[in-house]
A and B are shown apart, each in its own frame.
Chain A
Amino acid sequence: MATEAPALPAGLTKGKRPPGLIADRGFRVLALLAGLTVLVILALIAIYTTREAWPWFSAERLGIFSDNWDPAHNQFGAGGLIYGTLLVAGVAVLLSLPISVGIALFVTDVAPQRIRRPIVYTVDLLAAIPSVVYGLWALFVLAEPLANLFQSLSDATAGIPILKTLFANPSASGKSFMTAGIIVAIMITPIITSITREVYSTVPASQKEAALALGATRWEMIRGAVFPHSRSGMVAGTMIGLGRAMGETIAIALVVGASPRITANILGPGDTLASIIANQFGEASGTHRAALIGCGVVLFAITIVISMAARAVVSRADRRSAGTA
């Protein structure tokens, strides 16, 4: 933290104003205002989007949660969209989390010092590929083999009770909840990796060395020293990844199949809050447009709750470790 500049001796300030004081105060105020723009922008987002979406909220009331999105018949229930958003993000996190944890451990505890930085840069490159390019690739390259895979998966599990419904009615085009989940999983891997990696690197070397000195293998050391120390950080990282996955738009809009519905068939087409805005906003007007902006408001609310929860997990852990230190 910064030290305060020492006050000038009293004699110097006597009579006229000391030189440069106004500029000094002015800079401080300027910096404060810059910081406060964040607050202003967030407040404006909430106010303006809610205002434009109001016709939808007041017309549908709790109907906004029903599963009947049908612009042709003026029905705008976002239940299927909220479901799709949660499902795609859930699939993405389930797929991405083990891989991200694996990479993070590989970087902090396994890879030779020399190649750690190159590995980090390589994984970060995944974050540099734009969302729309992921979507393009998923649509024109990945979808076709996935459609075949989904079909055989569905055939193979036709007799097994739960999997039967889960994998029923696979999408023939390859556009599905699952396809979107897979592509989003790739996109959030660098984020979850970098957060978990940072958490792992704060584990005291003495604890790791103590575990190894007691004869633990590297895996036992990770389970005994690294994981317990990093649990809350991993939870927070996962939640931030979840938030990103829910806000992901363009890649999902290209491959999710654009059919809003609540269904257990994860290999079939669906839709999400963000992707329906991208796909329908251009030709929307009236209540339809208000409903789409309303979808944005719902999404905004969900992601804010997730950021706050992630933050709460971290600060609770901070307090706990501060207490024991």
Chain B
Amino acid sequence: MTAPAMPLTQSTRKGRREVKNALATAFMVGSFIVALVPLTLIVLYVLRAGIKVFGFSFLTEDLPFSNRIEGGGMNAAIVGTLVITGTATAMAVPLGILGGIYLNEYGGSGLVARVVRFLADVMTGVPSIVMGLFIYTIWVLPRKDQGLSGFAGALALGCLMLPIVIRTTEEILKVVPEDLREGSYALGCRKAQTIRRVVLPNAAPGIISGALLGVARVAGETAPLLFTIGIVSQPNWNVFEGPNTALPQQIYINASVFGGFDAAKDRAWGAALALILIVFLFTLIARVISAIFARRSAAT
């Protein structure tokens, strides 16, 4: 038999604990909802405001000769974004994969690998605007008038991508089963052959999805392009010569310098829609690839 007072206090104590627990749970659910609000608002607003100018001519026409007037399209900026991001990817991804291979397959926990791993983390944290200044001082400045080009922008974006690709590659290689490597050695393969023919094919989907996420991240970067690519109003497919332009740069210029003009404002929203579509497309492809990868490895 318990004293009657005892369960009573216990139940109120328990009540307070339950309330605290419920409050904490509500806070966690609430946090997620709070994060959803800006996401939904931004996406909906970009859709609503962007769709006004968005269309075939917006994607295919040259930029107008003045930001203040209506009309014209983002053709030049879309071309610029694609060639600059593409060039950056072509430079950073192979180099990054090799670096990741070094960290996981050769360096392990040795001193050199630890230093490289640490510096890759530091480099991930370097602000994108600093990367832009760096390319400006090392590449654009020495070339004077010829310095501004899509390639300079691609160099800056590539520097931003490189550490991301290195670290994701390393993470993916870590989960490739050791048995596969040993099997390959047992068949007489050398280490480099093993990596190229056994380890990499096994890790390919993960590496590709990691690289695509890196591409999505740098495709939206504005700061590194501000003083590296210059500006043009007609599409420039030549990444090595002549100034270029890009969607993020057009959004920034139309919003900041010409933000007072309705035509520029509309153009900025249209460009934002185009940019978000490109970035989400890359993100989606990366997700699909990694989902297929996850299902396949779960099946084996």
Q: Tell me the bound Cα distance from A248 to B43 in angstroms.
A: 20
Contact A36-B116, Cβ < 8 Å, known A133-B42, A299-B130, A304-B122: yes
Minimum CB–CB distance from A276 to chain B (whole Å) comes to: 10
Q: Are B127 and A303 in contact (CB under 8 A)?
A: yes
Minimum CB–CB distance from A145 to chain B (whole Å) comes to: 11
A71 within 8 A of B: no
Contact A98-B126, Cβ < 8 Å, known A3-B178, A137-B45, A282-B227: no
Contact A28-B192, Cβ < 8 Å, known A38-B119, A132-B220, A247-B125: yes
Q: Tell me the bound Cα distance from A34 to B101 in angstroms.
A: 9
Which residues of chain B from 104 to 140 have any CB-CB distance to chain A below 8 Å in the complex? 104-109, 112-113, 115-116, 118-123, 125-131, 133-134, 136-138
A32 within 8 A of B: yes
Q: Are B222 and A250 in contact (CB under 8 A)?
A: yes
Q: Are B99 and A128 in contact (CB under 8 A)?
A: no
Q: Report B-chain residues with C-beta under 8 Å of the C-beta of A37.
A: 95, 99, 162
Q: Tell me the bound Cα distance from A253 to B195 in angstroms.
A: 45
Which of B105, B185, B252 has the most CB atoms of chain A within a 10 A radius of its CB? B252
Contact with B along A287-307 (1 / 0, CB 8 A): 000000100100110011011
Interface size on B, residues (CB 8 A): 100
Q: Are B185 and A137 in contact (CB under 8 A)?
A: no
Top 7 nearest A-B pairs (CB, nearest first) are A130-B220, A247-B127, A102-B31, A34-B98, A27-B192, A31-B102, A217-B21
Question: Which of B21, B27, B130, B163 is close to A300, meaning CB atoms less than 8 Å apart?
Answer: B130
Which residues of chain A from 1 to 42 have any CB-CB distance to chain B below 8 Å in the complex? 1-6, 20-21, 23-24, 26-28, 30-39, 41-42
Q: Are B123 and A42 in contact (CB under 8 A)?
A: yes
A205 within 8 A of B: no
Q: Which residue of the partner chain B has the closest CB to A134?
A: B42
Q: Are B185 and A5 in contact (CB under 8 A)?
A: yes
Which residues of chain B from 16 to 62 have any CB-CB distance to chain A below 8 Å in the complex? 17-18, 20-21, 23-25, 27-32, 34-36, 38-39, 41-43, 45-46
Q: Tell me the bound Cα distance from A110 to B224 in angstroms.
A: 40
Which residues of chain B from 211 to 246 have any CB-CB distance to chain A below 8 Å in the complex? 216-217, 219-223, 226-227
Q: Are B120 and A38 in contact (CB under 8 A)?
A: yes
Could you tell me the dominant secondary structure of chain A's interface residues? helix
Q: Are A131 and B30 in contact (CB under 8 A)?
A: no
Q: Report B-chain residues with C-beta under 8 Å of the C-beta of A101.
A: 31
Q: Are B104 and A102 in contact (CB under 8 A)?
A: no
Q: Tell me the bound Cα distance from A324 to B185 in angstroms.
A: 37
Minimum CB–CB distance from B248 to chain A (whole Å) comes to: 5
Contact A41-B30, Cβ < 8 Å, known A296-B129, A299-B129: no
Q: Tell me the bound Cα distance from A32 to B110 in angstroms.
A: 12
Q: Tell me the bound Cα distance from A299 to B183 in angstroms.
A: 49
Contact with A along B132-170 (1 / 0, CB 8 A): 011011100100000000000000000100110010000
Q: Are A2 and B108 in contact (CB under 8 A)?
A: yes
Q: Report A-chain residues with C-beta under 8 Å of the C-beta of B38.
A: 126, 186
Q: Are A293 and B133 in contact (CB under 8 A)?
A: yes
Q: Are B119 and A42 in contact (CB under 8 A)?
A: yes
Contact A278-B226, Cβ < 8 Å, known A35-B107, A42-B123, A99-B35: yes
A207 within 8 A of B: no
Q: Are A131 and B220 in contact (CB under 8 A)?
A: yes
Q: Tell me the bound Cα distance from A274 to B130 in angstroms.
A: 8
Q: Which residue of the partner chain A has the closest CB to B219?
A: A130
Which residues of chain B from 265 to 287 have any CB-CB distance to chain A below 8 Å in the complex? 265, 268-269, 272, 275-276, 279-280, 283, 287
B295 within 8 A of A: no
Which residues of chain B from 78 to 101 have any CB-CB distance to chain A below 8 Å in the complex? 95-96, 98-99, 101
- Mark the stretch among A47-55, A56-64, A73-81, A159-167 that contacts chain B: A47-55
Question: Which of A51, A135, A281 is close to B255, meaning CB atoms less than 8 Å apart?
Answer: A135
Q: Which residue of the partner chain A has the closest CB to B186?
A: A6
Question: Which of A21, A44, A123, A254 is close to B35, meaning CB atoms less than 8 Å apart?
Answer: A123
Q: Tell me the bound Cα distance from A244 to B27 in angstroms.
A: 25
A129 within 8 A of B: yes
Q: Tell me the bound Cα distance from A306 to B208 in angstroms.
A: 30
Q: Report B-chain residues with C-beta under 8 Å of the C-beta of A278.
A: 129, 222-223, 226, 252
Question: Which of A26, A41, A102 is close to B28, meaning CB atoms less than 8 Å apart?
Answer: A102
B251 within 8 A of A: yes
Q: Are A102 and B220 in contact (CB under 8 A)?
A: no
Q: Tell me the bound Cα distance from A282 to B220 in angstroms.
A: 20
Q: Are B227 and A281 in contact (CB under 8 A)?
A: yes
A-B contact list, 12 entries, CB within 8 Å: A34-B96, A35-B113, A38-B116, A49-B134, A106-B31, A121-B287, A123-B32, A130-B222, A131-B222, A220-B17, A293-B137, A304-B125
